[in-house]
Amino acid sequence: MHVPDGFFDVPVSVGGGVVAAGGVALCLRGAHRELDDRTAPMAGLVAAFIFAAQMINFPVASGTSGHLLGGALAAILVGPYTGALCVAVVLLVQGVFFADGGLTALGINMVDMSLVTVLVGYAVFRGLLRVLPSTRKSVVASSFVAALVSVPAAALSFVLLYAVGGTTDVPLGQVATAMLGVHILIGIGEAFMTALTVASVMATRPDLVFGARHVLPTLELRTTPATVGGS
Amino acid sequence: MSGGHSDRLYVPGASAVHRLPPQCKLVAVLTFVLIVVATPRDQFWAFGLYAVVLASVAAVARVPAPVILRRMVVELPFLVFALLLPFVSHGERVQFFGLTVSEAGLLGAWNVLAKGTLGVVASILLAATTEPRTLLLGLERLHLPALMVQIMSFMFRYADVIGGEMHRMRIARESRGFQARDVRQLRVVAQSAGALFIRSYERGERVHLAMLSRGYAGSMPVIVDVRAGRGQWLTAAALPMPALAIAVTAWSLT
């Protein structure tokens, strides 16, 4: 869903760029607060992971396949700031180096696919965890719903931007129905993939799931004085 | 290992375009694309002239046409979308190659196709004439936050490593007889993604320790500096300036 050049008019493209720059600056500060001097290598490697994970194709129905978008997954695994930053970096690299997504639409792409996806996904995830019991199952269920909602949310923000500065003459209602319809389907695939991935990370390294850090009980080291035999 | 991406994107050469400092090229391409996007869609000739400008840049840079054409496939998904536009748009219906389509939709499809294609070709030329490492230096020169540039360079450095790891996991799955046929096999694919995340994260931790042991304290040393002189900026303006002239003429004609 990389928006190309010419799809949005200049004011909306520039406006999107300004919002994206502000959002990315905020994420840079947030990520630096969380990771300190580990930011560059950690965010870089997570971005490389998202870049690679987007290439994993999974079968959907006969013949068709989908791939992960990774916004909600990144937010749950490494936190909202680092997650949004990593997705933004992936988009920037795809736009500047791979000509995937227009340069003038870069801001819009970042707002839709990085900022909105992560913000909505993470908000839903944390909100659900607050009301659900603190178990492994609730973490997986929450990530399912978070990913499910995050993809149509990104499509909705695209439709809103389209209403302001779209350059084609397709009536808004039709755009909204088509975009939301398609992205609800994509969202279902994204939800299964995200939830199952989070579940597999939880099974081996639960400490690496940022979003669930405060949910699961931390293992504590208990020392009990040993009774020395020989009495 | 680290050169994997540049092999695919960069076309080595020593032309005037190759030698320009990266920040000049970045600004030139971005300005060019902005001008193209701002051009009124019904001035068809203007887009032809833009294509001529890009073609001459490609000729000067000696980037072979097949390379550009091959990389233009990124545009495909969106080409399909553009082809649908004339059928779903509102407005007056016209006959077009025996089909009844919306006139506004036809114009919209042309608009998105022409501008999108010019943007894609401009980006391809930029990446084909600038090494990724140099392009990152150019972004830093243009005041992209240094931390962002560092993250991008790490991503670039390790994209092939992580991609290779993913590839080996796929081979391992398939050599054990696994074949993803439908959604029921999603769990296995997701488990691979999870394992890939853990490996990437742990590699990041090791990279950080390796950096610390080499004296990293938050900023990367600048080894090559890419300063741009006035002359180089003027040379780079050879892309957006003709485009600006074309756009101004197009605007005055509407």
The pLDDT tens digits for B160-200 are: 899 999 999 999 999 999 887 777 788 888 999 999 999 99
- Count how many residues are written for chain A: 231
Q: Which of A54, A97, A186 to mutate to test the interface with B (most CBs of B within 10 A)?
A: A97
B192-226 burial, b if ≥16 CB within 10 A, otherwise e? bbbbbbbbbbebbeebbeebeeeebeeeeeeeeeb
Q: Give the number of beta-carbon pairs within 8 Å between A and B.
A: 263
- Residue B25's pLDDT band, with cuts at 50, 70 and 90, is very high
Taking the CA of residue A69 and the nearest CA in chain B, the distance in Å comes to 12
DSSP B90-130: -S-EEEETTEEEEHHHHHHHHHHHHHHHHHHHHHHHHHHHS
The answer on pLDDT for B6 being more than 60 is no
A211-229 burial, b if ≥16 CB within 10 A, otherwise e? bbeebeeeeeeeeeeeeee
The Cα A37–Cα A105 span in angstroms is: 31
**Which of B30, B85, B119 lies at the smallest CB-CB distance from A170?**
B85
Contacts of A57 by beta carbon, 8 Å cutoff, 6+ apart:
A65, A66, A67
CB contact under 8 A, A56 and B204: no
Residue A48 belongs to domain with CATH number: 1.10.1760.20
Residue A67 identity: H
CB contact under 8 A, B187 and A6: no
CB contact under 8 A, A10 and B38: yes
Residue A31 belongs to some domain of the structure: yes
Chain A, nearest residue to B121 by Cα: A99
The pLDDT value recorded for residue A176 is 87
The DSSP letter of residue A58 is E
Gyration radius of chain B over CA positions:
23
- When the pLDDT of each residue in chain B is averaged and rounded to a whole number, the result is 87
Residue A72 belongs to some domain of the structure: yes
Residue A217 belongs to some domain of the structure: no
**Which of B112, B158, B187 lies at the smallest CB-CB distance from A6?**
B112
The answer on pLDDT for B1 being more than 70 is no
Taking the CA of residue B1 and the nearest CA in chain A, the distance in Å comes to 14
Please give the residue range of the domain that contains residue A150: 10-212
* Crossing angle of helices B186-213 and A39-53, rounded to 10°: 160
Taking the CA of residue B3 and the nearest CA in chain A, the distance in Å comes to 14
Taking the CA of residue A206 and the nearest CA in chain B, the distance in Å comes to 10
CB contact under 8 A, B218 and A5: no
Q: Which of B1, B31, B33, B37 to mutate to test the interface with A (most CBs of A within 10 A)?
A: B37
- When the pLDDT of each residue in chain A is averaged and rounded to a whole number, the result is 88
The pLDDT value recorded for residue A110 is 94
Residue A225 belongs to some domain of the structure: no
Angstrom CA distances, B119 to A30, B134, B240, stand at 33, 21, 13
Chain B, nearest residue to A168 by Cα: B108
**Which of A5, A60, A98 lies at the smallest CB-CB distance from B37?**
A5
Residues from chain A contacting residue B63 (CB–CB below 8 Å): none
The pLDDT value recorded for residue A175 is 82
Q: Residue range B196-225: average pLDDT? A: 87
Residue A161 belongs to some domain of the structure: yes
CB contact under 8 A, A44 and B88: no
Residue A119 belongs to some domain of the structure: yes
The pLDDT value recorded for residue B179 is 83
Query: Which parts of chain A register pLDDT below 50?
Result: none
CB contact under 8 A, A208 and B198: yes
Residue A218 belongs to some domain of the structure: no
Residue A219 belongs to some domain of the structure: no
Number of structural domains in chain A:
1
The pLDDT value recorded for residue A120 is 96
- Residue B4's pLDDT band, with cuts at 50, 70 and 90, is very low
The Cα A207–Cα A202 span in angstroms is: 8
CB contact under 8 A, A56 and B200: no
The pLDDT value recorded for residue B2 is 43
